[in-house]
């Protein structure tokens, strides 16, 4: 009788210890990802800060593109609160990236912009930021995929259920 009770108590303690270890492992991985996200978030915020100059110069040189400029302004406003990595934030920034590329393509056809120092400087800054973001996004996405895969393992289920740790979106369109 005493051996059975000791065995049950021992198993319960072992299961609790394993659960605590898994919880803290998950917490460490989540914290690591949030640190990565904060670096990416800062780069995205900086890009948003640099957009008004590009839009103003483009608006003056290509007034027929008001619809695109208005779309960009609306998208920038919607993308501004870059706090947490949510699917909505990811999609807005991916849409914004596409619109920036569209502006650069259209601007390449406007002769006045080819020599506009302000436009060329804004383009250079945004391009450099996009390169930094692209270089950072791939490792971030890889870590998010590993983290999301962890959440699917059955032994992490109790830790997931009692915590705030949920699946995070990757920073690209998933099919």
pLDDT tens-digit map of 19-28: 889 889 999 9
Residue 174, pLDDT score: 46
User: For residue range 90-104, what is the model confidence (pLDDT) as tens digits?
Assistant: 888 888 888 899 999
34's tokens: 């949030």
pTM score:
0.80
Tokens 């779309």 belong to residue: 71
Residue 12: partners with Cβ closer than 8 Å, 6 or more residues away: none
Residue 167, pLDDT score: 86
Does 148 score more than 50 pLDDT?
yes
Residue 29, pLDDT score: 92
Mean of per-residue pLDDT scores for the chain: 87
Residue 157, pLDDT score: 81
CA distance 147 to 53: 38
> Using the 8-state DSSP alphabet, how is residue 7 labeled?
H
172's tokens: 């690209």
Confidence of residue 129 (pLDDT cuts 50, 70, 90): very high
Domain extents for the chain? 31-137
User: For residue range 37-71, what is the model confidence (pLDDT) as tens digits?
Assistant: 999 889 988 998 999 999 999 888 888 888 988 98
């Amino acid at each position: 009788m005493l051996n059975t009770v000791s065995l049950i108590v021992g198993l319960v303690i072992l299961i609790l210890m394993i659960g605590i270890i898994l919880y803290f492992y998950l917490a460490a991985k989540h914290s690591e990802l949030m640190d990565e996200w904060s670096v990416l978030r800062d780069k995205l915020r900086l890009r948003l800060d640099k957009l008004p100059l590009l839009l103003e110069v483009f608006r003056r040189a290509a007034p027929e593109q008001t619809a695109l400029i208005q779309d960009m302004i609306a998208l920038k406003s919607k993308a501004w609160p870059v706090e947490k990595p949510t699917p909505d934030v990811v999609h807005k920034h991916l849409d914004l990236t596409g619109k920036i590329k569209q502006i650069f393509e259209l601007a390449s056809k406007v002769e006045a912009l080819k020599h506009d120092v302000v436009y060329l400087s804004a383009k250079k800054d945004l391009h450099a930021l996009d390169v930094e973001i692209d270089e950072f996004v791939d490792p971030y996405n890889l870590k998010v995929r590993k983290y999301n895969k962890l959440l699917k393992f059955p032994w992490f289920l109790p830790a997931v259920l009692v915590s705030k740790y949920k699946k995070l979106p990757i920073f690209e369109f998933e099919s």
